Amino acid sequence: MGRTIIKQPLYTIVYLLFVLLVVFPVAYTFLLAFFNIDSLGKNLQLISIETVLLLLKSVLIAATVALFSTFSGTLLGFLLYKTKMKHSSFFKLALLIPLFISPYILAVAWKDFFFIMAGNSNIISSELGVALVLTTIYTPLAMLITGNAFSGIDSKLEESGFMIAGFHRTMSKITLPLIKPAVISSFVLIFIFSISEFSVPAILGVKVFTTEIFTQFSAFYNHSLAILQSALLLIICLLLLFAEGKYIADASFLSVGNRGNNTKTYQLNKRRLPGFLFVIIWLFISVILPFIILFFQTFNNETTNFIRAFKLLLPTFGNSITLATTGALVIVFIGFVAAYKNYLSQTQTKTGKSFDLFMLFLFATPSTIIGISLIRFYNHPALEFIYSGWTIIIIGFVAKFSFIAARLLGNAMKKIPASMDEAAQLEGISKFKRFLRIIVPLVLPSLFATFIISFIFSLGELGITIMVYPPGTEIMPIKVYTIMANAPQSLVSSMTLIVFSVTLLMIIGFYFIAKSIIKKQSYVVG
Amino acid sequence: MRLFTIVTIILTLFIISGCSNTTNEIVVYTSVDQVFSEPVLKEFENKTGIKVKAVYDTEETKSTGVLNRLIAEKENPQCDLFWSGDPIRTIVLKNRGITQPYQSPEATDINPAFKDPQHNWTGFSARARVLIYNKNLLKPNEIPKSIFNLTDEKYKGKVAIANPLFGTTTFHIAALFTTLGNEKTKQFLTALKVNKVVIATSNGDVKKQVMQGRVACGLTDTDDAFEAAKENKNTGFLFLDQNGIGSLIMPNTVCLIKGSPNTNNGKKLMDFLLSKDTEAMLARSCAQMPLHKGVKVPAGVASLDSIIPMKVNYDKTAIKLEEIQNYLKAWAEQ
């Protein structure tokens, strides 16, 4: 340990700061809830058989969502990343749209759709409805994960298969086993996202475990019971992630933006039309339909509310973009440091494992608990400079999203052939130069993709931000959230469209910046 | 190296941005919807030159943010003044020792029923619980006149109320418990359940369901009902039980936070909020009923003198609320 500290000062500093500033406040809140014997005893009595059944119900819904999303996402991933489907670049981007929009808005849009079309919204206000809405939201995530796994398959393996077997056999014996880790990873991540989701079941009036935790927070103000209940949720998520980690071992899954290997594309032949229809139908259900409803509600007879929404949100643009950009930069930096350490060590060290474990713990902790923990820890006169500024929000973003960044980058690094670094090492090129000239250019596309994902998540983050945002600051998701309560539907829909447009514009802007940087770096490598 | 310097400068500026601390400011947390509270706070800023730093939340999502934040910040308060849309939340804070007393000179003519006897909170601009109905689904003679009519067979599955665990609906039910007694209220609630009452996610959802015709009528607050009537001509509202127990009146409440950094400015804002001018503003923006006499209100906004109020003691109702929460949770989840 001592040698590691001397050898890798940057890693050690980042690790210690992460533990002290981000992990400790949340862990401390959990410890307080567990070690306060009085309240623990009282609260344990409140955890009844109904609580357990409710948890099981939530697990069932989340598993259904994860299963269907992973299935549809894998199919979409195959069609768009592994075949030469027309307009596949457009579809890849368009199908990601549900990830940019708050689940709350999509739930409202679906409820309205069923009322307009079927005369009542009872059909969607059920466990099945929750599963359906969440499936449309999380399928793009599965598509992204499995699609990149499909692109990463070495063409030699599949070509060998095709020499002795047909489409079905090659698919079942070579392609699918190779992307199995990505499929499992997609299932686990979507399961965690779904089981932690509060707004969709709340809007659709379905009682799940997260709504129960919310009730303890907001109706009973029983923080310790809410924390205890969250711990149950956390244990399930951690067990699942551990199982996934053990199973997948060193496979490189959950990676985006990597320079693809020389991958083989499949010919769909007579399956081309059904495949194309599936993509079109999915696009229609998950993107076009909710957007038609949003547009209909926004511009129904007038445009005044759209202008009003723009004026209301205008003061928030600068703050929100600065915050999300800074947050995404810090998250990518931490994720990169954690991933690079694992890459250098080849086998994970104790600190590397604990870093991963801490990020995972924070990822699975409900946002409200992270918010409460940050207030309790940082609301101290000596830490005023953190608590009363934007730093506290950035710490919240880091807590919530570092895990995803570290995974994305870690898996991108796993794809770098060790031979490249070894060859440079034999030539006597220094470690720093190898890092700059080999590692950075090769992971640059993944760095950009991770930055974009972290930016989108940070820009829309609400659960922690509303608990800790500095008084007097105008932030986009908070404004939308606090205005939408008493606002007419057209104003709410207008705000959603504006938030979506701002996100998209920023992504396009970042894309052009990244493109020029990546181009320059390719010259360096070349 | 240049990149490192730039990043260091940005991070330093970022941290410094949180360190600005002037005394000519006030920190306000409010659960009153931002569309209505922000103009009032801006007006105070313009009049006094005191910078208002607000944290907004919304009743629609049960004010989870501000109230939990105030409770978590108890040991080192950041907020000077809390402006709530109802008395429930301020009483929760008072019971947890988070408020401090202040007797505003602006509130001398406000009815003592709307003030905390120990001056921990003071009420102003009130809303009332009303019945909102869809004119296409209910003819004038079919509109219920009493809350107890909602259990009639003819309204089966046609009535909505918000989740009684949260917000003004909780307070309404708790007020029924203190007014009618436990047994009678439980009978009424059971009858409502038997009559397949629709539990909406919030008062805003009740409004939306009535406007869209998903249900014929529902219980909500005057500001929601007023907005609905403005948005949709087929929506109307009325005060229930005007020949019986009366309608529940819920004032906005304001309180100072104990140990806050800018208590003097907090008092100034409290005086401003309790003034006739603020009541007039809130009457115009969201049809709230002034508690002061002689405040000019627009047409359509009811006067407290013209409605029969339910006789409730807010403190006792808040205590009752805590007692019945487990019952309400079980009732809502039936």
pLDDT bucket at A253, cuts 50 / 70 / 90: very low
Q: Least CA distance to A490: which residue of chain B?
A: B231
Q: Where are the domains of chain B?
A: 24-126+251-301, 127-248+320-333
Task: Using alpha carbons, list the distances in angstroms from residue B213 to A142, B140, B203.
Answer: 38, 16, 15
In 3D space, the residue among B1, B7, B5 whose CA is nearest the CA of residue A330 turns out to be B7
What's the pLDDT tens digit per position in B158-193? 999 998 888 889 889 999 999 999 999 999 999 999
End-to-end CA distance of chain B: 64
Report helix, strand and coil shares of chain A as percent, to nearest 5.
80, 0, 20
Kindly give the interhelix angle for B263-273 and B276-286, rounded to the nearest 10 degrees: 60
| Statement: residue A39 has pLDDT above 50 | yes
B chain contacts of residue A217, beta-carbon cutoff 8 Å: 64, 68
pLDDT of residue B51: 96
Tell whether A472 is within 8 A of chain B (Cβ): yes
Q: Which residues of B243-269 are buried (b: 16+ CB within 10 A; e: fewer)?
A: eebbbbbbbbbbbbbbebbbbebbbbb
Indicate if B127-248+320-333 has the same CATH topology as B24-126+251-301: yes
Among A198, A212, A390, A486, which would you mutate to test the B interface (most chain B Cβ atoms within 10 Å of its Cβ)? A486
A chain contacts of residue B65, beta-carbon cutoff 8 Å: 466-467
Kindly give the interhelix angle for A272-283 and A49-81, rounded to the nearest 10 degrees: 130
Of these ranges, A368-372, A452-456, B153-157, the one predicted with the greatest mean pLDDT is B153-157
Would you tell me which residues 300-329 of chain B have a C-beta closer than 8 angstroms to some C-beta of chain A?
325, 329
Extract the tokens encoding A75: 């199919």
Task: Using alpha carbons, list the distances in angstroms from residue B101 to A509, B8, B26.
Answer: 53, 46, 18
Token match 């403190």: residue?
B315
CA atoms of B81 and B100, how far apart (whole Å): 10
Kindly give the interhelix angle for A489-525 and A440-460, rounded to the nearest 10 degrees: 170
pLDDT of residue B58: 66
With CB atoms and an 8 Å threshold, state whether A391 touches B15. yes
Rg (CA), chain B: 21
Looking at the DSSP bridge assignments, the partners of residue B54 are B28
What's the pLDDT tens digit per position in A41-91? 676 766 778 888 999 999 999 999 999 999 999 999 999 988 888 888 889
pLDDT bucket at B204, cuts 50 / 70 / 90: confident
Yes or no: say if A486 and A470 are a contact pair by the CB < 8 Å rule.
no
Q: Least CA distance to A369: which residue of chain B?
A: B68
Yes or no: say if B100 and B120 are a contact pair by the CB < 8 Å rule.
yes
| Statement: residue A249 has pLDDT above 70 | no
pLDDT of residue B52: 96
Pairing verdict, β B249-257 and B99-100: antiparallel
Tell whether B166 is within 8 A of chain A (Cβ): yes
Tell whether A486 is within 8 A of chain B (Cβ): yes
pLDDT of residue A254: 52
CATH code that applies to domain B127-248+320-333: 3.40.190.10
Alpha helix (H) ranges present in B162-311? Answer: 167-180, 182-194, 203-211, 222-231, 263-273, 276-286
What's the pLDDT tens digit per position in B257-311? 999 999 999 999 999 999 999 999 999 988 899 999 889 888 878 888 889 999 9
| Statement: residue A250 has pLDDT above 50 | no
| Statement: residue A202 has pLDDT above 50 | yes
Extract the tokens encoding A383: 């830490």
Rg (CA), chain A: 23
Average pLDDT rounded to a whole number, residues A335-362: 84
Q: Least CA distance to A201: which residue of chain B?
A: B201
What's the pLDDT tens digit per position in A121-151? 677 889 999 999 999 999 998 998 888 788 8
Tell whether A202 is within 8 A of chain B (Cβ): yes
Looking at the DSSP bridge assignments, the partners of residue B235 are B134
pLDDT of residue B217: 97
With CB atoms and an 8 Å threshold, state whether B51 touches A472. yes
**What share of chain A has pLDDT > 90, as a percent?**
26
| Statement: residue A331 has pLDDT above 90 | yes
| Statement: residue B13 has pLDDT above 50 | yes
Please provide residue B50's backbone torsions phi and psi, each rounded to the nearest 5 degrees. -85, 125
CA atoms of A309 and A469, how far apart (whole Å): 22
Tell whether B170 is within 8 A of chain A (Cβ): yes
CA atoms of A356 and B275, how far apart (whole Å): 56
In 3D space, the residue among A506, A139, A497, A481 whose CA is nearest the CA of residue A327 turns out to be A506
| Statement: residue A525 has pLDDT above 80 | no
B chain contacts of residue A120, beta-carbon cutoff 8 Å: 214
Yes or no: say if B27 and B262 are a contact pair by the CB < 8 Å rule.
yes
CA atoms of B56 and A473, how far apart (whole Å): 10
CATH superfamily of B24-126+251-301: Periplasmic binding protein-like II (3.40.190.10)
With CB atoms and an 8 Å threshold, state whether A467 touches B54. no
Q: Which residues of A206-229 are buried (b: 16+ CB within 10 A; e: fewer)?
A: bbbbbbbbbbbbbbbbbbbbbbbb
B chain contacts of residue A215, beta-carbon cutoff 8 Å: 165, 329
**What share of chain A has pLDDT > 70, as a percent?**
90
| Statement: residue B2 has pLDDT above 90 | no
What's the pLDDT tens digit per position in A77-111? 999 988 888 888 889 888 988 887 778 778 878 88
CATH fold, domain A61-298, is MetI-like fold (1.10.3720)
Of these ranges, A255-259, A285-289, A362-366, B78-82, the one predicted with the greatest mean pLDDT is B78-82
pLDDT of residue A246: 66
Extract the tokens encoding B3: 């990149």
Task: Using alpha carbons, list the distances in angstroms from residue A170 to A165, A166, A178, A522.
Answer: 6, 6, 11, 34
Tell which phi-psi region holds residue B294, choosing left (phi > 0), alpha (psi between -120 and 50) or beta.
Answer: left
pLDDT bucket at A3, cuts 50 / 70 / 90: very low
CA atoms of A74 and A181, how far apart (whole Å): 12
Report helix, strand and coil shares of chain B as percent, to nearest 5.
50, 20, 35
With CB atoms and an 8 Å threshold, state whether B65 touches A466. yes
With CB atoms and an 8 Å threshold, state whether A487 touches B35. yes
Nearest to A217 among B52, B59, B68 (CB): B68
What does the DSSP 8-state code read for residue A271? Answer: G
pLDDT of residue A348: 66
pLDDT of residue B60: 58
Yes or no: say if B234 and B136 are a contact pair by the CB < 8 Å rule.
yes
pLDDT bucket at B230, cuts 50 / 70 / 90: confident
In 3D space, the residue among B90, B114, B65 whose CA is nearest the CA of residue B257 turns out to be B90
pLDDT of residue A325: 95
With CB atoms and an 8 Å threshold, state whether B73 touches A375. yes
| Statement: residue A369 has pLDDT above 50 | yes
With CB atoms and an 8 Å threshold, state whether B212 touches A479. no
| Statement: residue A491 has pLDDT above 70 | yes
The structure's pTM equals 0.80
With CB atoms and an 8 Å threshold, state whether A203 touches B201. yes
pLDDT bucket at B7, cuts 50 / 70 / 90: low
Yes or no: say if B274 and B104 are a contact pair by the CB < 8 Å rule.
yes
Yes or no: say if A175 and A150 are a contact pair by the CB < 8 Å rule.
yes
What's the pLDDT tens digit per position in A211-226? 888 788 777 777 788 8
Would you tell me which residues 16-45 of chain B have a C-beta closer than 8 angstroms to some C-beta of chain A?
16-19, 21, 27-29, 33-36
The chain-wide mean pLDDT, for chain A, equals 83
Extract the tokens encoding A98: 């549900």
Token match 């303890």: residue?
A216
What does the DSSP 8-state code read for residue B227? Answer: H
CA atoms of B299 and B315, how far apart (whole Å): 33
pLDDT bucket at A500, cuts 50 / 70 / 90: confident
| Three-state secondary structure readout of A133-181 | HHHHHHHHHHHHHHHHHHHCCCHHHHHHHHHHCCHHHHHHHHHHHHHHH
**What share of chain B has pLDDT > 70, as a percent?**
91
Of these ranges, A307-316, A420-429, B128-137, the one predicted with the greatest mean pLDDT is B128-137
- Collapse the DSSP code of A221 into the 3-class scheme (helix H, G, I; strand E, B; otherwise coil) and give the result: coil
| Statement: residue A402 has pLDDT above 90 | yes
pLDDT of residue B20: 47
CA distance A435 to chain B (A): 15
Answer with the residue of higher pLDDT: A425 or B179: B179
| Three-state secondary structure readout of A424-469 | HHHCCCCHHHHHHHHHHHHHHHHHHHHHHHHHHHHHHCCCCHHHHC
| Statement: residue A5 has pLDDT above 50 | no
Of these ranges, A12-21, A24-33, A190-199, A423-432, the one predicted with the greatest mean pLDDT is A12-21
Extract the tokens encoding B104: 């505003």
CA distance A459 to chain B (A): 17
| Statement: residue A2 has pLDDT above 80 | no
Yes or no: say if A201 and A209 are a contact pair by the CB < 8 Å rule.
no
The chain-wide mean pLDDT, for chain B, equals 89
With CB atoms and an 8 Å threshold, state whether B14 touches A221. no
**What share of chain B has pLDDT > 90, as a percent?**
66
What does the DSSP assignment read for B144-175? --SGGGGGSGGGTT-EEEE-TTSHHHHHHHHH
Tell whether A361 is within 8 A of chain B (Cβ): no
Amino acid making up residue B41: L
Among B1, B13, B24, B35, which would you mutate to test the A interface (most chain A Cβ atoms within 10 Å of its Cβ)? B35
Would you tell me which residues 214-233 of chain A have a C-beta closer than 8 angstroms to some C-beta of chain B?
214-215, 217-221, 223
pLDDT of residue A281: 95
ipTM above 0.85, yes or no: no
